Amino acid sequence: MNSKHRRTDPASDLYRAVLQLKTPEECYAFFEDLCTVAELQAMEQRFEVAKLLNQGLIYSDILEKTGVSSATISRVNRCLNYGNDSYRTLLERLKALEDADPEVQA
């Protein structure tokens, strides 16, 4: 997404606060306070879809595996192909963490 479509300031306190989280537990607690259960589930599903698309799975397999709608799969796929590369960046970082320490689950 280019800057003309941004609705908020990426330098806002919210995004700076996220960068201060130190552990997965802190991150989870913060997002649990910030978001509804449905919002958290939607974000978790989108990230899982991005991971599966990045692994080369096709829509029908992702739909069967996750139960998410084809519209969600399509949206995530659009972001993977035409977005800001944030999904791929984070997936690569998680893979590097897993490769460095197999005990870490990506």
Any idea where the domains of the chain sit in the sequence? 10-100
Write down the pTM of the prediction: 0.82
Q: How would you class 94 by CB atoms within 10 Å of its CB: exposed for 0-12, middle for 13-18, buried for 19 or more?
A: middle
CATH class of the region 10-100: mainly alpha
Residue-wise pLDDT tens digits, 5-58 = 567 787 889 999 999 999 999 999 999 999 999 999 999 999 999 999 999 999
CA dihedral sign of residues 47, 53, 58, 61: negative
